[in-house]
Chains A and B, each alone.
Chain A
Amino acid sequence: QVTLKESGPGILQPSQTLSLTCTFSGFSLSTYGMGVGWIRQPSGKGLEWLANIWWDDDKYYNPSLKNRLTISKDTSNNQAFLKITNVDTADTATYYCARTGTHTMGIAFDYWGQGVMVTVSS
């Protein structure tokens, strides 16, 4: 059974660094073809893809966030991480992590976490 769960600070101030953790089970990020992505959604708005990390440590980022994103993984502890530097109120959103795998020729997130709400406020 595949599960993912996000954790984060809940609230932080502008200019701080947001650190998110995705703890998963039921698959391994060292298995060929597996990947974990981060997606966010401001309240009442649409989905925004942020970043992806693959089994071979290949990483892809959304260029709209410039150089503020860093994705990483800890394969032995079944975790993936996302850091966003210099946060602003526009980063207030629910953040999801999700799995993609060999069921698709590209990316399609077949399992999602429940999401974690992050508020940026002074």
Chain B
Amino acid sequence: DIQMTQSPASLSASLGETVTIECLASEDIYDILAWYQQKPGKSPQLLIYDASSLHTGVPSRFSGSGSGTQYSLKINSLQPEDFASYYCQNGLSAPHTFGAGTKLELK
């Protein structure tokens, strides 16, 4: 089974800052990786699929990159609505494991 190691577990940042969240797969997942945002009490929302494709309606300050086993989610110019939890997911093969999550908090 493919393991997904996400870092950091938590992150404190200010409005307008740029942050990066990393996700490491235990083997090559050929760019089949998704990123989700989840706010308290709400369902997760898809941000990025296939490592770098922006889902419909997602602001362009979100971007995904990476290849092989290493992937990242970058958020430029943090807005108040961006403070939430973020998860990566192996989309290549079952079990489609999620990373443990990153909680982004306002400094």
Contact = CB atoms under 8 A, between A and B. Distances in A.
Contacts of B87: 46-47
B101 A46 contact: yes
Contacts of A1: none
B43 interface: yes
Interface string B65-107: 0000000000000000000000101011111111111000000
A106 B44 contact: no
B46 A63 contact: no
B34 A49 contact: no
A48 interface: yes
B32 interface: yes
B95 A62 contact: yes
Contacts of B55: 103, 108, 110
A5 B19 CA distance: 33
Given A112-B43, A112-B44, A104 B94 contact: no
A60 B44 CA distance: 21
Nearest to B55: A110
Given A108-B91, A109-B44, A37 B49 contact: no
B10 interface: no
Interface of B: 1, 32, 34, 36, 38, 43-46, 49-50, 53, 55, 87, 89, 91-101
Complex A-B, nearest 9 residue pairs according to Cβ-Cβ distance, in ascending order: A108-B49, A106-B91, A106-B32, A60-B94, A108-B34, A112-B43, A107-B91, A47-B98, A49-B96
Given A107-B32, A109-B36, 14 more contacts: A46-B87, A47-B87, A61-B95, A62-B95, A104-B32, A105-B91, A106-B32, A106-B91, A108-B89, A109-B46, A110-B49, A110-B55, A113-B43, A114-B43
